A and B are shown apart, each in its own frame.
Chain A
Amino acid sequence: MQRRDRQLGLLYALPIGVFLAVAFLAPILLVAAFSTMPPKVFSIWNMPDFSAYYTVITQGYWKTVAWSLGMSMAATLILFVVCWPLAYGMAKVFGRFSLVLTIGVVMTLFVSENIRLFGWVLTLMKGGLVEGYIRAWTGTGFDGLLYNVPVIVFGLCYVYLPFMLFPLAQGIAMVPEDARAAAFDLGATRWQIFREIELPLAMPGILVGSLLTFVLAAGALAETKLLGGQAVIVIAEEVETAFTYGQNWPLGAALAMVLIVIVGGIAIWGIGRADLDRMMGRR
């Protein structure tokens, strides 16, 4: 029985394992190889000279990296504060309403991200839903709310809200009611219960939610392009520009490697800590 389990496990893992090796790991290795090539070549059969990394360091690309990471960190923090009460409600208070909320939030995930962001453009632009109605009712309008840094962070918060909300709710559900009741009976205030009981015990959920939000937001592109206009340039956009307009694949690959190393490092660290069997409910 044990032996058959082992064989079947390996056999069933093969299709997706082989597929990911060919269509996920191999392309990433190719990007790594390309990043070492001299500028503007389109094949990896050249002498590596690592000049693209030199360009990345000397041409001030660290600014775009800093913008990407800074904005995704801001979005992660804001989302944690916004989602905590809601996640708490979903895990401990709501009952049936939890299901309504879950379905309602999941459904937005199936709408193409750029349609939803375009909706915000129509809502926030000059002559859009907000400004247009305010002008019609009060007679005084204002410039649109688009094309600045805060609106990009807002867009990131909007798009990645579900990725913070659900892990957080899962984490809070893991806090035993007894622990909170005991702390309350011993005279702890609401704030002390939050800090000493809920925060540490819900940590796995907080960690997963924050990592997921941060990593996805760090590689985001559409938010900056649609809502931000020319306000800032993020790393994903620099990668795209180098590949398309710049026609400089090694530079694009080197920039992509910077993002891959940061995001991949955080993701591998986070995934390495999570016990997937326990989180997904193995019996």
Chain B
Amino acid sequence: MRTSRLMGWLLVAYGCAVLAFLYLPLVSVGLASISKARYLTFPIRRYAYDWYGEALASDTVRDLLLVSLKVAGIVTVLSMVIGFLGALAFARYSWRFRKAYQKLILLPIFFPQTVLGLALLMWFNTVGIIPSWKTAVVAHLVWIAPIATLVISIRAYSFDPALEEAARDMGATTWDTLREVTIPLLMPGVISAGLFAFLLSWGNFPLSLFTTGADSTLPEWLYAKMVSGYSPLVPTVGILTVGTSAVLLALGLTAALIFKRARAARNA
């Protein structure tokens, strides 16, 4: 039973419509960011790029950028390490509590993030830790480390256990096997998990809201400005944030493509 040609084209058109729908709000933000007027109304009469200059020169924006970068950078490194080990336990080895462990890993992903942020705030308060960007790193990790584990697990599932066993039979120690066989094989998974971790931390708002204390990340600042009224810097800073993710993602995808080509060339 084949789907008819017309049906196929209709489905493709539908897919394009859904994509357009997903990106429409970003188009609005983009247009708003280059409107000259202080109070935005469409249709836009005069365009100007002044807000970008102002945003880039502002000290507030620089501080926010620094905090966001620090948090996302540390979250990335830690979730790559924790996720790598976690994925081996998730997918590769059979051990007693593996099924229960797999379920524990999934729970934080389902959990409402606002509530998680508040629960952590109470926890830090009870233990006696003053919230700052460092506690936000912990909050982000609760959600992102499990995601990194899942991303690396997908790679670890397609891993042939015989390769590790062969290394061991030829006299490699556990550490040698890990360094020479397991890590290189899982590396593409680890790198994509790192990319995921950075981008998710960079854009996260609900977890940061309650756990950054006196510090503030970019999404938090944007939200505060959105709720308190319109500021012409909001669309501009928003687009700068999105632009950063887009550049990183493009770099990641290009690197993946180059890696794939190089490997195909080597194997051919």
Contacts and interface: CB of A to CB of B under 8 A. Distances in A.
Interface in A106-125: 107-123
A9 B43 contact: no
Interface string A76-105: 000000100110111011100100010111
Nearest to B220: A114
Contact of B102 (A89, A101, A103, A276): A276
A5 B85 contact: no
Most buried by B among A1, A16, A85, A101: A16
11 contacts: A5-B95, A9-B89, A10-B95, A24-B108, A24-B116, A94-B12, A97-B15, A112-B205, A115-B219, A226-B226, A236-B114
For chain B, which range describes its interface: under 10, 10 to 19, 20 to 34, or 35 or more residues?
35 or more
Which of A1, A13, A92, A236 gathers the greatest number of chain B CB atoms within 10 Å?
A: A13
Interface stretch (B47-55, B56-64, B234-242, B260-268): B234-242
A115 B96 contact: no
A118 B142 contact: no
Given A16-B82, A119-B27, A264-B110, 6 more contacts: A16-B89, A27-B120, A113-B206, A184-B1, A256-B119, A260-B111
A119 B24 contact: yes
A280 B104 contact: no
A281 B154 contact: yes
Contact of A215 (B3, B110, B118, B153): B110
A101 B25 contact: no
Q: 6 smallest A-B Cβ distances: which pairs?
A: A219-B112, A119-B25, A132-B42, A9-B95, A9-B93, A13-B89
Contacts of A85: 11, 14
A161 B22 contact: yes
Contact of B22 (A90, A105, A259): A105
A88 B202 CA distance: 32
A111 B203 contact: yes
A124 to B, nearest CB: 9
A101 B222 contact: no
Contact of A219 (B14, B114, B149, B219): B114
Interface of A: 1-2, 4-17, 19-20, 23-24, 26-28, 30-31, 34, 42-44, 82, 85-86, 88-90, 92-94, 97, 101, 103-105, 107-123, 127-129, 131-133, 136, 158, 161, 180-181, 184, 212, 215-216, 218-222, 225-226, 236, 239-240, 243, 249, 252-253, 256, 259-260, 263-264, 267-268, 271-272, 276-277, 280-283
B28 A129 contact: yes
A133 B24 CA distance: 14
Interface of B: 1, 3, 7-8, 11-12, 14-15, 18-19, 21-29, 31-32, 40-43, 81-83, 85-86, 88-98, 101-108, 110-116, 118-123, 125-126, 138-139, 141-142, 145-146, 149-150, 153-154, 157-158, 165, 174, 199-200, 202-206, 210, 218-219, 222-223, 226-227, 234-235, 238, 241-242, 245-246, 249, 253
B105 A16 contact: yes
**Chain B interface SS verdict (over half):** helix
Kindly name the residue among B25, B96, B157 whose own CB sees the greatest number of chain A CB atoms within 10 A.
B25
B26 A34 contact: no
For A111, A220, A276, which residue has the most chain B Cβ atoms within 10 angstroms?
Answer: A111
Given A111-B245, A132-B42, A89 B85 contact: no
Contact of A114 (B28, B111, B123, B222): B222
Contacts of B8: 89, 93
A122 B15 contact: no
Given A6-B93, A226-B226, A115 B242 contact: yes
Contacts of A277: 91, 157
Most central of A8, A101, A119, A281 by chain B CB within 10 Å = A119
